Every structure is written in structure tokens, then in C-alpha cells.
């Protein structure tokens, strides 16, 4: 059994389908993306491709038999705004917010904006396994189950080592913000790269 | 008028009762009661600070000055302490990767597939005539796996099922052109032998598997003869109730339910001695105990589990009471059958099975506590007259009689943390009492073990408070099915969880157990300890062992404050036609403060006799 996950490159194509409306399906999770996700940026702070980030989040949701929608929030680069906004658009009240650099949270519509169900504040520690677990747990919350929170990692060196890069990425992402712009419904197409 | 205070030093709480007694002791006016934690082991000088604190608070509650206090009464603490031990007596062993019987949360597809086990990478080029089961190893991507299986099927290979290492079953099943059953989360997939005949079954949603949980189903699938079918019967039994399963036919594979040699328990009575196998279970142990009553001591076979359990009890007791371990005598044991989730030896997917276990509570009689020394220290610390008065059981009966609606003959049932005590008083002065092992602490341990919590504090809360499920941040569904709405949101960590509604807030229970299961475990634990002990205790103290001779039964003690134990006991003794209920000491203290109240009542009565020595007939 050979491991061929890293060998295959996948590309992400996000196309807008117009303003995102609030969902009515109780079995959906909304994945909220920051302004530059899969657009100006294509990788997280530790070079995890955005195509794989979104693919694992979607896979985690799908494995639980739950439906996922992808929505971009061009109006903010604040994770709390994106995560809470996604939760409020979600028919189940559960949303995932993810920033281009990889910082992620699971939110619920009734919670205060600055709170969250699960928060993954250290972007450099986010790998594909964690993104899959985030998708899985969000879907399980949507089903009314009680998942074990994804084990949160902590690296005391992450802050000194990555803070400068994170700040630069945040400034660039914030530069893309169009204040007051409405969330957009996206179609996500993830394909194997043409020539492999 | 003199101001007196009665103090009861218990295993876990110290209680005080302040009252004013008039000169001839005929009139008692009850003023206030207070409750605090016992400092140190009861009956030792460490208790002084706890007593001083409770007395101070009782006086404050009564609005009286400590200087007015004339006498402090303490009971003669019953020198009994209890200990606990628990050990598993069975284990499940799977040899040679015979089966995978776990319940992944999300198996994929549905139905039954039978074939030879083949790794994903080896699928191309297989003989189309031979059905195969595809094994998708660690690290394989779900898209690649689905593509691999689809192209194999397109090439004419009969892929009838798949076993996956990661949590990918639905992802793969959703991408297949031909639906097959897929079992996932098999962490040790590398241990599955290749080239062996295997069967994969996934039940429809809401159903459980039908073929692999049936011995003849397995026999049909693998074409077994009667002897081989006899061999697979335990496999089928182990898979009953699962949503998905994999059975692999290996030449010598087997699954067994092994009993761990738990050892023998020797019960030494006053006139007889009996030896009983621990693995025989609680019922046999308790039957043997009844035959040797009264118990003088109990020992376990050295080098076995039970030997270890009793050694632990002896050691703890000798530490607590500062007596040599061989001088500690076990006066009562309560054995309770329980189950504890244990990992299955040889399992491929981290399966666990409920192993049988036996919990033993033991009651130890210690040498008389240094009460005189304690009284002297109290005299120093508080600067007042301290009287040691009365046996605990007698005082509890006197206190219980202050419950409205009671009369002699009366029986009390004191449900504490470490022990269950009972006493009976007829019309005379004689009081018969017993102290039995097993009470609240044992219930907590049973809940902790059976739910696999590993958190005694949480188990304690589950014991004491009702459960609810947090269905949203603003509403809770209670265990009785009713819904409670809230104006302020629940804490984030309680979302969608089963929670305990403790006094200190809503506390989540971090397990996969349903609310029904937790409730059932909680009630069963209480039943096996308190109902069993209540009947045992009342049989031992009632005249001729006949419960019908008892008039009134008053339930007292900390565990009587529980929200369901008193009802369970009332129900259990209802058939004997006894009036049974939770005490309400002095009409206002509930089941607390009985001994402290009894001390004051006895003090007043003796004062009365002393002043008026000959109450002659005809007065």
C-alpha cells in the first residue's frame, strides 16, 4: 500500500454564484472563507495548499452524511466575523470559519461573536488531519451529537517563529477587504492538476 | 434556662444543634442547626477545628453569644470505617485477527460482501473469477481508493467489500459506481492477513447486522462444517448488536471470554468459616456471608486479585487508624457485580468489551477512638464543659423521633458515605444496631467504573444530580423528557452534550454514552448498594428478622437527601406494610442533624430525671 497523497497535486477553482442566502436545511454546515482564500493566496502559512484544506474540510463533513456550502466573506478578515457569519447563514446554525493562513474555528449562531465551539488559533500547527477533524466535528455538532473536541495543539515556539509572517499575511489579507460587501455563495471545484 | 449544643462528628460531616433547655429539662426550645465538613478521621483530635467551626456557625444562626453556652455534648463516635476495592474478573481475547467487531460512527454503503483479502495496490491484475475484499491501508487518499476500486470493477474484478484504516467509509462509498459495504476506522489494518477469505457486513441505517452475528450465517458464508460452526459461535455472539463487522477466516483464529483467576475469599464467622470464588459473582459471596454471620474477619487468597483487594483495604484502614495491618478486622463486606469497559486483547480497531468486575466494600471496626482526649482538647479550645454522651445509634433514634408523625417501635436507616447503619428501638430503652459496608462512596465508584469516566468528582455529580441533554444553547431536555428554556446561554463546552445539572452549574459529561444509558447506570448502582443494604440492615435489626414487626422506618443521613434513593427504598419495603420515609428532624432539618438533636434530647431528659428523681405513680 503506497502513500500517494502528497504526490498528486490538486487545484482549486472557486466561482461565485452571487449573494449567499441563509440556508434552511438542518443538515448543512457552511464553510466561511476569508477574502483571499484560494484566490490571492493558494497556501497556508506552512504551505498547505488551499485546495487540500478545503477538500479535507468538505470530506470531514461529507463522511458524516452532512451537506456543506462554501461562502466567501469579502467584508472582513476577522476570523470571528467570518466564523459567526458562516454559522448564521447555516441551516443547522453550525459554521466553520477559515483564514488564508490556516487559522480556523467552529462557530454556532447563538454564541456571542467572540466565543466559539472550537478554536484553532495557531495556524502553523494546522495540517490536513486537523482540517479533516474540524469538518467532521462541525458536521457532528450539526447532527446534534457531542463530538470530542479536536485535540488542540500548542507550540510555544509558534508565536516567536511565525508571528512576523502571520502579521504580514494578515495585512495583505486585510488589504483585500471590501467593507460592507455581502457574503458570496461559491462553487468549489477541486481537480487533479492537468499534467502530473 | 441553659444553652446547650449537641455535636455529631460523622465520617464526612460534622453537625451541630443549638437548643435552650429549661431548668427542669421538661421544655426544650430548638434554636438552630449547622453543618460542616469533618476535619480529619472521626473520633480523633484532628476534629477540633471542624467542631469549633460548626458550633460557631450554629450559634451565629441562633443569634446567640458563645459566652452564654453552658454545655457542649458530643456523641461517642462509632469506631467503624469502610474501605473499597474493585477488580475485573473477565477479559475478552481475540487470537489471530479473526474478526473486527467495532461500531465505527459512519460505515459506508450497505449489505454483505464475501471475498479474499487483497491490498488496494494489488487490485489490478486480480483473477476476475475470484471475489475480493479490498483493504485500504493507512495514508491512502479516499479519492485514490475510490478510483482504484472503480477501475478494478471496470476491469471485471469482483470487489465485494472494503475495509479502510481512516474514517473514510462514506467518502469512498459515495464515489463508487457499484455500491459495496465499507467498514472504516480499523486502526491496525496491517494485521489483517492477505489472501484469506473474509466477509464484510454493513447494516442499513437504524438496523444491526444480520448475517455475521448469526452462527449459521457465518457457516453459510464460509461453508463451515458443524465442528467449525461450533468454533465460530463466540465470534457471532461477540458481534451481536453491531452496525458493521468484518469476519476473517483464519485457520486457528478464535475469540474467547476468559475468566481471570480472581482468587478465593475466605469469610470467617463466629462459628463457621466459608471460602467462596470471587468469580462466582456477588450473589454467591453474599449468600456465603449470610451463612457465616456474624462476620469476624475476611481474608483473600494471597497472590490473587481478591488477595490484593483485601490487602488494600487492610492497608488503608491501618493507615487511617494507626493500628497494625494484622489487627484490622473486617466486620462486613458488600459485594456488587459490575461491568467495566476494557480494551479487547488482540483487537484490530481498538474495540472494547464490557468486562465483568466485582466491587467489594468492607467495614472495619477500629479500636475505640481517643474520645476522652478529643473532649479534653475541645474543652481547651472552646473553654466550656464538654460531655461525651450516648451511643450514636441511640442518639439517632432519639433524634429521629422528633420527626412529625413517628412513634415507637421505630427503625432508623442511616445512609452515609461510607456505611449504611440501622437501629431499632422498641418501647423500652434497648436499641439494636448494625453497621454495614457499602454506601454513597461505593455508588460513586460503580458509576465511575461502568461509564469508564476515570473521574471520581464527575461520577459524584452524576450520582447527586439529574441529567439533561443540551439541545441548543437555550434549551435543555431533562432526563424525564421535559424541556427547560433558559434566558442566558449555556457554557460553550456544554453544547450538544449530556450534562449534569449540579448546584454549581451545568457540567458536561465527556463521553459517548446516551442520557438513557447514564441514567440506567446511575439508578442500577444506587439500587445494588442502597436497596440491597437497606433490606439487609432492616432484616438484621428487626425482631426475629421480620420486617413486618417494624412500625416506622425513618431514612436519615447524607444519602437520604438524594433525589431518588429514598423513593427506591420506600418502594422496596412497601410490600411489608411499613411506614417508610425520609426523616424530618425537629420538623425542619430534613434527614440531617438526627444525632446532634438526639444528644440534646437525652441531655434534657437526664437533667429532668436528676432534678426529679422519683416521679411516683399517681402524680
Q: Is B369 a residue whose pLDDT tops 90?
A: no
Which chain B residue has its CA at the smallest distance from A116's CA?
B492
- What single DSSP character describes residue B301? -
Torsion sign across C-alpha atoms B254, B257, B262, B265:
negative
Mutate to test the interface with B, among A1, A110, A127, A131 (most CBs of B within 10 A): A1
pLDDT beyond 50 at B3: yes
> What is the mean predicted confidence (pLDDT) over B224-242?
83
Bond prior to B74 in cis (omega within 30° of 0): no
Q: Domain A8-145+157-192 is in which class?
A: alpha beta
pLDDT score for B220 = 93
State residue A192's pLDDT score.
85
pLDDT tens-place string over residues B56-78: 999 999 888 888 888 899 887 66
Contacts 24+ apart (CB under 8 A), A158-165: A158/A122, A158/A124, A158/A125, A159/A122, A161/A124, A162/A45, A162/A123, A162/A124, A165/A45
Domain boundaries, chain A: 8-145+157-192
Mean pLDDT computed over B419-442: 86
Question: Per residue in B529-553, pLDDT tens?
Answer: 999 999 889 888 888 878 888 888 9
Q: Which H or E run contains B153?
A: helix B142-154
Please spell the DSSP secondary structure of B129-146, one letter per residue.
TS-EEEEE-TT--HHHHH
Kindly report whether the peptide bond that precedes residue A100 is cis, defined as omega within 30 degrees of 0.
Answer: no
Mean pLDDT of B6-25: 84
Quote the minimal CA–CA distance from B106 to chain A in Å. Answer: 6
B362: pLDDT strictly greater than 60: yes
pLDDT band at A3 (very low <50, low <70, confident <90, very high): very low
Architecture of the domain delimited by B1-79+368-391+598-619: 2-Layer Sandwich (3.30)
* Three-class HEC string of B84-121: EEEEECEEEEEECCCEECCCCCCCECCEEEEEEEEEHH
**What pLDDT, on the 0 to 100 scale, is given for residue B174?**
94
CB contacts of B492 in chain A (<8 Å) are: 111, 115-117
pLDDT at A155: 85
**Beta carbon pairs, A and B, within 8 Å:** 66
- Chain A residues touching residue B497 (CB < 8 angstroms): 146
Which residues of A have a CB under 8 Å from any CB of B? 1-5, 8, 59, 62-65, 93, 108, 110-112, 115-117, 132, 136, 141, 144-146, 148
Say how far apart CA A134 and CA A123 lie, in whole Å: 13
Could you give the percent of chain B with pLDDT greater than 70? 92
Bridge-based pairing of strands B13-21 and B28-37 is antiparallel
How high is the pLDDT of residue B40?
A: 79
Q: How many angstroms away from the CA of B108 is the closest CA of chain A?
A: 9
Q: What is the enclosing helix (H) or strand (E) of B571?
A: helix B565-573
Asked if A117's CB is within 8 angstroms of B170's CB, the reply is no
B615 has pLDDT over 50: no
β-strands B99-100, B111-119 pairing: unpaired
Please state the rounded mean pLDDT for residues B483-503. Answer: 87
Find the range with the poorest average confidence among B104-118, B306-320, B594-608: B306-320
Q: Which residue of A has its CA nearest to B119?
A: A1
The CA distance from B474 to B481, in Å, is 16
CA-closest candidate to residue B177, choices B207, B151, B197, B144: B151
A59 contacts on B by Cβ (under 8 Å): 142, 168, 171
Query: For the stretch A138-161, what's the b/e string if a residue is b when 16 or more beta carbons lie within 10 angstroms of its beta carbon?
Result: bbbbbbeebbeebeeeeeeebeee
CA B454, distance to chain mean position in Å, is: 12
- Look at residue B555 in the predicted model and tell me its pLDDT: 92
A4/B560 Cα distance (integer angstroms): 64
d(CA B547, CA B473): 50
Instruction: Give me B243's grid cell.
Output: 452496525
- Domain B82-89+259-365 superfamily per CATH: Coenzyme B12-Dependent Enzyme linker domain (3.90.470.30)
- Nearest one of A94, A117, A145 to B513, comparing CA atoms: A145
ipTM of this predicted complex?
A: 0.87
Which residues in chain B are closer than 8 Å to A111, comparing Cβ atoms? 473, 489, 492
Question: How far apart are the C-alpha atoms of B162 and B149, rounded to whole Å?
Answer: 9
Residues of chain B whose beta carbon is less than 8 angstroms from a beta carbon of chain A are 105-106, 119-121, 135-142, 144, 167-171, 174, 471-474, 489, 492, 495-498, 508, 510, 512
| Superfamily grouping for domain B405-583 | ATPase, nucleotide binding domain (3.30.420.40)
Provide the shortest C-alpha distance from residue A168 to chain B (in Å).
32
Q: How far out from the chain centre does Cα B566 lie?
A: 17
* SS3 letters across B423-462: EEECCCCCEEEEEEECCHHHHHHHHHHHCCCCCHHHHHHH
Mean residue pLDDT of chain A comes to 91
Statement: residue A94 has pLDDT above 70: yes
Domain boundaries, chain B: 1-79+368-391+598-619, 82-89+259-365, 93-248, 405-583
Band of pLDDT at residue B460, cut at 50, 70 and 90: very high
Cα of first residue to Cα of last residue in chain B, in angstroms, is 25
Distance from the B66 Cα atom to the nearest Cα atom in chain A, whole angstroms: 51
Domain B93-248 class, CATH top level: alpha beta
Answer yes or no: pTM beyond 0.95.
no
Query: For residue B277, what is its C-alpha cell?
Result: 470464588
Report d(CA B218, CA B210) in Å as an integer: 10
Identify the bridge partners of residue A188 per DSSP, sorted by sequence position: A14
Amino acid at each position: 500500500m503506497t502513500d500517494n497523497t502528497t504526490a498528486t497535486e490538486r487545484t482549486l477553482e472557486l466561482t461565485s454564484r452571487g449573494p449567499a442566502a441563509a440556508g434552511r436545511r438542518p443538515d448543512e454546515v457552511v464553510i466561511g472563507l476569508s477574502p483571499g482564500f484560494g484566490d490571492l493566496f493558494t497556501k497556508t502559512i506552512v504551505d498547505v495548499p488551499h485546495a487540500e484544506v478545503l477538500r479535507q474540510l468538505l470530506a470531514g463533513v461529507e463522511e458524516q452524511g452532512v451537506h456543506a456550502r462554501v461562502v466567501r466573506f469579502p467584508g472582513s478578515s476577522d476570523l470571528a466575523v467570518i466564523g459567526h457569519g458562516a454559522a448564521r447563514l447555516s441551516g443547522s446554525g453550525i459554521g466553520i470559519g477559515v483564514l488564508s493562513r490556516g487559522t480556523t474555528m467552529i462557530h454556532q449562531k447563538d454564541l456571542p461573536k467572540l466565543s466559539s465551539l472550537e478554536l484553532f488559533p495557531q495556524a502553523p500547527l494546522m495540517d490536513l488531519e486537523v482540517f479533516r477533524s474540524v469538518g467532521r466535528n462541525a458536521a457532528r455538532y450539526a447532527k446534534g451529537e457531542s463530538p470530542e473536541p479536536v485535540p488542540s495543539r500548542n507550540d510555544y515556539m509558534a508565536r516567536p517563529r511565525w508571528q512576523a509572517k502571520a502579521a504580514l499575511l494578515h495585512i495583505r489579507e486585510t488589504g483585500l477587504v471590501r467593507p460592507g460587501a455581502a457574503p458570496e455563495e461559491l462553487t468549489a471545484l477541486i481537480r487533479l492538476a492537468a499534467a502530473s | 434556662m441553659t444553652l446547650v449544643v449537641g455535636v455529631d462528628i460523622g465520617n464526612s460531616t460534622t453537625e451541630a444543634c443549638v437548643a435552650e433547655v429549661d431548668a427542669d429539662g421538661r421544655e426544650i426550645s430548638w434554636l438552630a442547626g449547622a453543618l460542616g465538613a469533618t476535619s480529619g478521621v472521626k473520633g480523633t483530635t484532628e476534629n477540633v477545628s471542624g467542631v469549633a467551626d460548626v458550633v460557631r456557625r450554629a450559634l451565629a444562626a441562633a443569634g446567640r453569644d458563645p459566652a452564654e453556652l453552658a454545655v457542649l455534648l458530643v456523641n461517642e463516635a462509632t469506631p467503624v470505617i469502610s474501605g473499597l476495592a474493585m477488580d475485573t474478573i473477565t477479559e475478552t481475547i481475540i487470537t489471530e485477527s479473526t474478526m473486527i467487531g467495532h461500531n465505527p460512527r459512519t460505515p459506508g454503503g450497505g449489505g454483505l460482501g464475501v471475498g479474499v483479502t487483497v491490498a488496494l495496490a494489488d487490485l489490478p491484475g486480480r483473477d476476475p473469477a475470484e471475489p475480493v475484499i479490498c483493504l485500504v491501508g493507512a495514508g491512502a487518499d479516499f479519492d485514490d481508493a475510490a478510483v482504484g476500486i472503480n477501475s478494478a470493477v471496470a476491469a471485471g474484478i469482483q470487489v465485494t467489500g472494503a475495509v479502510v484504516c481512516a474514517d473514510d467509509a462514506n467518502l469512498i462509498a459515495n464515489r463508487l459506481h457499484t455500491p459495496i459495504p465499507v467498514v472504516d476506522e480499523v486502526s491496525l489494518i496491517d494485521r489483517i492477513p492477505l489472501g484469506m477469505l473474509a466477509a464484510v457486513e454493513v447494516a442499513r441505517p437504524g438496523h444491526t447486522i444480520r448475517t455475521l452475528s448469526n452462527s449459521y450465517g457465518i457457516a453459510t458464508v464460509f461453508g463451515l462444517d458443524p465442528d467449525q460452526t461450533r468454533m465460530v459461535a463466540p465470534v457471532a455472539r461477540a458481534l451481536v448488536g453491531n452496525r458493521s463487522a468484518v469476519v476473517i477466516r483464519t485457520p486457528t483464529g478464535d475469540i474467547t471470554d476468559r475468566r481471570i483467576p480472581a482468587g478465593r475469599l475466605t469469610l470467617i464467622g463466629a462459628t463457621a468459616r466459608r471460602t467462596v470464588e470471587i468469580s462466582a459473582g456477588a450473589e454467591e459471596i453474599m449468600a456465603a456471608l449470610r451463612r457465616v454471620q456474624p462476620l469476624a474477619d475476611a481474608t483473600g487468597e494471597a497472590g490473587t486479585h481478591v488477595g490484593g483487594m483485601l490487602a488494600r483495604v487492610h492497608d488503608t484502614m491501618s493507615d487511617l487508624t494507626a493500628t497494625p495491618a494484622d489487627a484490622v478486622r473486617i466486620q462486613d463486606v458488600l459485594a456488587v457485580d459490575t461491568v467495566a469497559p476494557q480494551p479487547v486483547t488482540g483487537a484490530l480497531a481498538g474495540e472494547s468489551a464490557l468486562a465483568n468486575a466485582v466491587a467489594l466494600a468492607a467495614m472495619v471496626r477500629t479500636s475505640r477512638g481517643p474520645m476522652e482526649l478529643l473532649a479534653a482538647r475541645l474543652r481547651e479550645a472552646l473553654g466550656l464543659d464538654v460531655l461525651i454522651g450516648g451511643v450514636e445509634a441511640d442518639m439517632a433514634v432519639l433524634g429521629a423521633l422528633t420527626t412529625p408523625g413517628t412513634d415507637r417501635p421505630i427503625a432508623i436507616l442511616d445512609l452515609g458515605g461510607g456505611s449504611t447503619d440501622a437501629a431499632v428501638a422498641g418501647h423500652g430503652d434497648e436499641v439494636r444496631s448494625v453497621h454495614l459496608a457499602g454506601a454513597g462512596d461505593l455508588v460513586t465508584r460503580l458509576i465511575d467504573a461502568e461509564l469508564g469516566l476515570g473521574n471520581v468528582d464527575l461520577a459524584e455529580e452524576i450520582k447527586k444530580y439529574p441529567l439533561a441533554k443540551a439541545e441548543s444553547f437555550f434549551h435543555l431536555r431533562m432526563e424525564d423528557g421535559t424541556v427547560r428554556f433558559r434566558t442566558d446561554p449555556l457554557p460553550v463546552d456544554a453544547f450538544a452534550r449530556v450534562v449534569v445539572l449540579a448546584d454549581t452549574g451545568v457540567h458536561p459529561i465527556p463521553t459517548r454514552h446516551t442520557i438513557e444509558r447514564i441514567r440506567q447506570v446511575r439508578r442500577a448502582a444506587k439500587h445494588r448498594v442502597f436497596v440491597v443494604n437497606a433490606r439487609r440492615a432492616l432484616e438484621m435489626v428487626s425482631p426475629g428478622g421480620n420486617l413486618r414487626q417494624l412500625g416506622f422506618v425513618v431514612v436519615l443521613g447524607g444519602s437520604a437527601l438524594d433525589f431518588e434513593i429514598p423513593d427506591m427504598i420506600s418502594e422496596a419495603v412497601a410490600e411489608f406494610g411499613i411506614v417508610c420515609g425520609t426523616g424530618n428532624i425537629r420538623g425542619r432539618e430534613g434527614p440531617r442533624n438526627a444525632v446532634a438533636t438526639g444528644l440534646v434530647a437525652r441531655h434534657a431528659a437526664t437533667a429532668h430525671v436528676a432534678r426529679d428523681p422519683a416521679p411516683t405513680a399517681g402524680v
